Amino acid sequence: MSRTDEVHRITENVYKSIMEQFNPCLRNFIAMGKNYEKALSSVTFAAKGYFDALVRMGELASESQGSKDLGESQHL
């Protein structure tokens, strides 16, 4: 085997080794990214529900008799 062939074989082995180690890490990285996206979507959904509930509570509070009485007492 010539020196060039040996260098070529060694180089191929190094590349194969790197790819075998890199591919699982890349798959893991992609899976973590997908999990992060799902978690972020869930948090966004929960935050929207919380905000909508606060808005509704504010609307109900502003329509209550107690808030009307407070409003009238301020104008006296």
Q: Which residue has the higher pLDDT, 7 or 75?
A: 7
Find the domain containing 53 and state its range: 3-74
Which pLDDT band, with edges at 50, 70 and 90, does 75 fall under? low
Which pLDDT band, with edges at 50, 70 and 90, does 54 fall under? very high
Tens of pLDDT, residue by residue over 14-34, are 988 888 888 888 889 999 999
Q: Residue range 32-40: average pLDDT? A: 96
Domains held by the chain: number: 1
* Model pTM score: 0.55
C-alpha span between 74 and 68 (Å, rounded) = 10
Classify residue 23 as exposed, middle or buried by CB count within 10 Å of its CB (0-12, 13-18, 19+): exposed
